[in-house]
């Protein structure tokens, strides 16, 4: 029998491919967009400024055009303003390392830095908050969170109690405790945000035990405990209907007023929110603007 040399066969698996569909959508319609995508088979959604990128695995029989048509139909039925700005086919690589490398520490001011845990050793400031963002909103990179962090730092009184409405990553709750709050009630309607907040609380090992209570709840139905401060980084359509509830939950500690800090509000919506807050009984203390976004500071005497 003639001897043959075996042919070399590669045992490496083919690399996966992914479709990224990027839609331009107003940020105030994100909640409706997530509702439209609730039963989709996507593997992740990335938020940008007025932009959502939806990722799908490109498997056998996957039709990106059928997927686009289905998403467009769902968005249209919910009256979402949208434009498909990009569709990209991407080959798998080390996504986690690439993502981690892209997350830089945020210098809020000379006294406060927000950093992911993997870059903690590269920063130095009197106050460092460790936040490892995942799918949730609020790592400090967005203009609204940046402004809210500075306001929480300035307004938190020693021994005060706070509420972090729509906590996202838990940043504002953790920061309030570091700035002197004795207890913070933080809540979010998103399960992943609640889990991410719990993880970030554990990463900040200097936090007093049980200083933050985290709950999955809706802003319209959650029972708000008495507090001297509320931070609500939401958006106009969630803030305005709840201004009375926020006002009733605030309990000033004389001679110090109670504080309501709100953001997630576009510049052209600021006057509308201020007018509604004044009707409820708040005093407008300050408006801060960064890019297209504002943060509003109200007081209750």
Interhelix angle 171-178/143-155, nearest 10 degrees: 20
CA nearest neighbour of 45 among 36, 57, 34, 29: 34
Of 120, 174, 126, 184, which Cα lies nearest the Cα of 149? 174
Note the pTM of the prediction, 2 decimals: 0.68
Using one digit for the tens of pLDDT, what is the confidence trace for 114-146?
A: 888 888 888 888 988 898 876 445 555 677 888
Distance CA 195, CA 133 (A): 11
Q: Domain ranges for the chain, please list them.
A: 17-93, 103-300
CB neighbour burial string for 3-14, b if at least 16 within 10 angstroms, e if fewer: eeeeeeeeeeee
Topology agreement, domain 17-93 and domain 103-300: no
pLDDT in tens, 165-207: 999 899 999 999 999 999 999 999 988 889 999 999 999 999 9
Q: Which superfamily does 103-300 belong to? A: Vaccinia Virus protein VP39 (3.40.50.150)
Contact indicator for 220, 242 with CB cutoff of 8 Å? yes
Distance separating alpha carbons of residues 282 and 284, to the nearest angstrom: 6
pLDDT per residue over 29-78, tens digit each?
999 999 999 888 888 888 888 999 998 888 778 899 999 999 999 999 99
The CATH number assigned to the domain with range 17-93 reads 3.30.70.980
Token representation of residue 102: 């892209």
Token pair 């200083």 in the structure block, residue: 211
Which residue carries 């695995």 as its tokens?
A: 57
Encode pLDDT of 146-175 as tens digits. 899 999 999 999 999 999 999 989 999 999
How far, in Å, CA of 42 to CA of 72, rounded? 15
Which pLDDT score, from 0 to 100, does residue 134 have?
65
Q: Are 161 and 232 in contact (CB under 8 A)?
A: no
CA distance 25 to 89: 21
């Amino acid at each position: 029998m003639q001897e043959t040399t075996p042919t070399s066969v590669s045992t490496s698996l083919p690399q996966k491919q992914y479709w990224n569909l990027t839609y331009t959508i107003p940020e105030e319609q994100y909640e409706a967009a997530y509702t439209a995508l609730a039963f989709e088979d996507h593997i992740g959604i990335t938020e940008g400024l007025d932009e959502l990128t939806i990722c799908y695995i490109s498997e056998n029989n996957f039709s990106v055009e059928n997927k686009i048509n289905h998403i467009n139909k769902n968005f249209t039925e919910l009256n979402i303003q949208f434009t498909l700005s990009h569709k990209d086919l991407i080959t798998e690589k080390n996504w986690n390392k690439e993502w981690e490398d892209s997350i830089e520490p945020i210098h809020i001011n000379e006294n406060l830095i927000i950093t992911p845990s993997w870059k903690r050793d590269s920063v130095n400031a009197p106050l460092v908050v460790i936040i490892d963002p995942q799918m949730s909103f609020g790592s400090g990179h967005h203009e609204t969170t940046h402004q809210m962090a500075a306001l929480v730092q300035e307004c938190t009184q020693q021994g005060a109690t706070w509420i972090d409405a729509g906590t996202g990553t838990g940043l504002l709750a953790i920061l309030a405790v570091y700035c002197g709050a004795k207890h913070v009630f933080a809540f979010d309607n998103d399960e992943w945000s609640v889990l991410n907040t719990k993880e970030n609380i554990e990463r900040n090992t200097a936090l007093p035990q049980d200083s933050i209570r985290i709950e999955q709840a809706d802003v319209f139905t959650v029972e708000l405990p008495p507090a001297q401060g509320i931070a609500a980084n939401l958006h106009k359509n969630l803030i305005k209907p709840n201004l009375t509830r926020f006002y009733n939950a605030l309990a000033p500690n004389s001679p110090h007023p109670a504080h309501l800090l709100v953001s997630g509000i576009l510049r052209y919506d600021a006057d509308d929110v201020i007018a509604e807050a004044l009707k409820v009984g708040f005093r407008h203390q300050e408006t801060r603007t960064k890019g297209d976004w504002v943060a509003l500071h109200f007081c209750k005497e």
